[in-house]
Structure 1
Amino acid sequence: MFRILLFLLLGIGAGYLLRHRPVVRLSGYGTRAAVVALLFVFGASIGANRELIASLSRFGLQAVVFALLGVAGSLCAVRVARRLLTRKGGAR
């Protein structure tokens, strides 16, 4: 766990020091590709788990409800954060 936090802090420092370089602006593409790859691997591991697939019908509705509530909560949090972080007229 310490190693993960160390790499996170090193990345934050590198991003701060190199924030005006074009390569840092392109890092968003790499981040998106990594997230898509992680989602694919996660989905593949779920699909390979026979016990989980067998019990999907039993827990499927509950999982959908939790997912929808999680998305709704995130959207509400973003809306509140936008109102708190922006001044009147949309200026920051």
Structure 2
Amino acid sequence: MIEYLLFFITGICAGYLISGKYSNKLQKVSLNISILLLLFFMGVSIGKDPMLYTKISGFGIQALAISGFSIFFSILAVLLIINITGSKK
């Protein structure tokens, strides 16, 4: 846990020192690279699981239902908040 806190503090210090002309572009590039690496290593760990291929059909239907309801209720919540606040930006 302390490692995560140290990385976080190091990132804050680096952001403070780098703030300037190229900091926004550097931040976008580093964020994209880190997300791509995270997705790659998640894919590697999923691909290493031999039992996953047998369970994938059950996961597919369940994932479709969960994602469908999540999208539906997210849109519904946004529309409700827009109607309550009366603001469209």
Task: Return the TM-score normalized by structure 2.
Answer: 0.63
Check whether the contact 1:46–1:53 (CA below 8 A) recurs between aligned residues. no
Matched, 1:65 2:62: no
Instruction: Kindly name which structure, 1 or 2, has the bigger radius of gyration based on alpha carbons.
Output: 2
Q: Give the superposition deviation at 1:18.
A: 2.3
Partner of 1:83: none
Q: How many residues align?
A: 80
Partner of 1:84: none
Task: Return the TM-score normalized by structure 1.
Answer: 0.62
Q: Which amino acid aligns with 1:65?
A: A
RMSD of aligned C-alpha atoms?
Answer: 3.2
SS across alignment from 1:20: coil
Q: Which amino acid aligns with 1:27?
A: Q
Structure 1: state its 5+ residue gaps: 81-87
Partner of 1:19: 19
SS across alignment from 1:55: helix
Q: Give the superposition deviation at 1:89.
A: 9.2
